[in-house]
Amino acid sequence: MQNSSAVSGPATFGQLSLWRSIANIPPTACNLPQTWALPPGTDPDAVGRALERLEARHESLRTRYAETAEGGLVQLVEPAAPADLDLVEGVPAEVSAELAAVPFDPTADRPWRAALVTERGVPTALAICFHHIAVDAWAINQLHEEFGVLVAGGELPGAAPSCRELAAEQWSEARANRRRAALRHWRQVLADAPPMARDAAPEAVTSRWARHGSAPAGEAVRTLAERLGVSAPSVLLAAFCAALARHTGEERVLVAVYANNRSDPRWEGLVAAQNQIIPLLVQTTPDEEFGAFATRVHWELIRSYKHAAYNVDDALLAGAENGYEGTVNGSFAGSVSGFFRYFFNYLGDYQRDQTPVNSAMETGTGGRNIGAPLYLQVQDGDALTSTLRENSSSADFKVVTEILLALEDVLVSAAANPAEPAEPVDSAE
């Protein structure tokens, strides 16, 4: 996918952050496979037209990337092209997995590929795989909805915003104060944080995960969020920190929290990898009532969200100034992701229909793996589905299973034992 008429411009903060994060991880870990069911009687030509219109509408689906001589990153937006759509007889999930097994080259390739899956010659699903630099979970949900409208012959309202427009604003002089404020935030958090954690044997790191679906935990999150007047992600993050403190004995927990950076309505409809991690240093106290703790974490998180869109190279500078360099376990070299042992990502209902809820504790070693030392992903719904993946020199599932059970216990116990409402916190502090 290379054309002399490509339009270039600086990368967005999200694109640059992801570029730094993926530089030293397996290429297929960047692949996000999806399976989208098709309405009965869907015309294959309608699927191709819908994909072509999506690519024309969203620049990130036709963008490749190039590094500058100074180590920066530019985006090269190509003209829209015809959809290359093969018809494959098979099981949709298996076809999606096959698409994801082939790495993309983000310097040269269109960042998505797709196949029309048939059953006895009848189209039943679209298997599609995206490179993460083109989309995040929010963007995939948006694309799925827009695809449904287009394949049914509908129209989408207005023009979509572009990454080039966002990048121009993020790097503008008008945003200079916000860039400086974000740098100060990283400096302050890392100056206050404990010394950077290091795996004792990075050469022996292996991967394992545990997954647990819990209806009681899902109900507890909703109860606590309503009772405390805070968000569900804040309740979950507080419970994760409490579970970590219970398991490790750590009083100060430094967590990388994923932020989707869509609080500004102008960029809510932007299909891109807008998410970046923000550093949150959480002080835990064993005898603090959970409601007060979760309320405090909520407002600390809100204050951190103000700095969620930032130049990652500034954050790397802040890390070097405070002894945060290299990686915890050998992953993410050259990225701020390397600073953290703990990661938290609230996915909401992303791929909820493709993740079966199992109340039994599941464990495994396969699947998509970005290499984070300890990474919690939470999908909300009637049941709360929590997946905790560990990449460390540990050799069993003890850590991931015990922390997931502790997470559920924290939530369910707190919901069942209401205390006096926490004092409101001034969000302007």
Domains of the chain: 7-168 (3.30.559.10), 176-416 (3.30.559.30)
The alpha carbon of 285 is separated from its chain's Cα centroid by a whole number of angstroms, namely: 29
| Angle between helix 215-228 and helix 290-305 axes, rounded to 10 deg | 80
AA identity, residue 327: T
Instruction: Give whole-number Cα distances, 170 to 15, 165, 258, in Å.
Output: 12, 9, 19
Give the least confident one: 148-162, 230-244, 335-349, 355-369.
355-369
Banded pLDDT at 350 (limits 50, 70, 90): low
What span, in angstroms and rounded, lies between the C-alpha atoms of 167 and 269?
Answer: 15
Which residues does residue 35 pair with via DSSP β-bridges, in sequence order?
127
Instruction: Give whole-number Cα distances, 415 to 53, 82, 223, 235, 299, in Å.
Output: 47, 53, 6, 11, 20
Residue for token pair 């409402």: 421
Radius of gyration of the chain (CA): 22
Mean of all residue pLDDT scores within the chain: 93
What span, in angstroms and rounded, lies between the C-alpha atoms of 100 and 114?
Answer: 10
What span, in angstroms and rounded, lies between the C-alpha atoms of 266 and 268?
Answer: 6
pLDDT tens for 38-75 read 999 999 999 999 999 999 999 999 999 999 999 999 99
Residue for token pair 């795996």: 199
Tell me the pTM: 0.92
> How many helical (H) and strand (E) elements, i.e. helices and strands, does the chain have?
11, 14
Instruction: Give whole-number Cα distances, 188 to 185, 267, 305, 315, 323, in Å.
Output: 5, 28, 15, 11, 13
Residue for token pair 């015809």: 82
Q: Would you call 79 helix, strand, or coil by DSSP?
A: coil
In this predicted structure, the answer to whether residue 352 has a pLDDT above a threshold of 90 is no
